[in-house]
A and B are shown apart, each in its own frame.
Chain A
Amino acid sequence: MSGYYYIDFTLKTKETKEPLPIYVKGSIEQSLRTIYGEIGGISTVDLIKFDRETGRGILRVPESNYVKTRTALTLISKFQEVPCHFQVHAASPVILGLLKTHVEF
């Protein structure tokens, strides 16, 4: 395929302030670095789209780093010192595959 995986996620926080996309990307990369370190955690994470109002976005990662990125995403507990959690709606190697989600069947 394209060699990429697309992850559709929602950032849920206690705070009502809308999160900035750059911080979202930063926190994902930060989590990758603490869990997998400088060599293991190196990967290109692209935040393709992010809707500030709902906190929903689409992430693109290389196929080989998909598992690592997803575990890192799961283990994020704080976003700017506020408890948060990333809910993954769907993940697919094709971006069209995100249209139908398994959680909302």
Chain B
Amino acid sequence: MVRVKNRYIVVQIVPEVDAGKISFNDSVLSRCVMKNVGKYYGEFGIGSTEYGFRVKYCNDKTRIAVIRVRHRPHRFVTSILPLICVIGDHKAKFRTLYTGATIMQCNKFIVKHQRDVLDKTIGTIDSAKERSDFLKNIMEFSVD
């Protein structure tokens, strides 16, 4: 069985100022990444990356996104992610957490990662309601 190989890149978006209001969505992210691929790798980069490029998952609250790229051109994307410092209208950077070949592996990774985050932060929250809300927000995961 032959198939098209993809790479799924799990990134975390780290805004410069920690304002909770800033939101990111799929189209903003993909436009930003494609623009930078074009800047650093030119038309060849865009042409080879564009097909199969998609932001599969973008969680506004946890600021985690999964980007799908075809196997060979994924190097274009992974190599320019550290160079990006403006996403949409805000100053922010990408932190690459994981690169996997299937979305299941990425899912596993994200769940594990979120659990770690949870362990670290849950102690600082006082009220029980806030705690349960926080838990709900952070552990939600669905891929469109």
Contact = CB atoms under 8 A, between A and B. Distances in A.
Interface string B1-45: 000000000000000000000000000000000000111111111
Contacts of B79: 39
A35 interface: yes
Nearest to A75: B43
A35 B79 CA distance: 18
B44 A38 contact: no
Q: Is the interface of A mostly helix, strand, loop or mixed?
A: helix
A83 interface: no
Interface in A1-58: 33-41
Interface string A61-87: 000000000000000000000000000
Range, interface on chain A: under 10
B72 to A, nearest CB: 14
B43 A38 contact: no
A38 B39 contact: yes
Q: Which of A34, A35, A37, A38 has the most CB of B within 10 A?
A: A37
B29 to A, nearest CB: 20
Nearest to B46: A37
B43 A39 contact: no
Nearest to B79: A39
A41 to B, nearest CB: 6
A35 B41 CA distance: 7
B39 A35 contact: no
A41 B80 CA distance: 14
A90 to B, nearest CB: 25
Which 4 interchain pairs have the tightest Cβ spacing? A37-B42, A37-B41, A36-B42, A39-B40
Interface of B: 37-45, 79-80
29 contacts: A33-B42, A34-B42, A35-B42, A35-B43, A35-B44, A36-B41, A36-B44, A36-B45, A37-B38, A37-B39, A37-B40, A37-B41, A37-B42, A37-B43, A37-B44, A37-B45, A38-B39, A38-B40, A38-B42, A39-B40, A39-B41, A39-B79, A39-B80, A40-B40, A40-B41, A40-B42, A40-B44, A40-B45, A41-B42
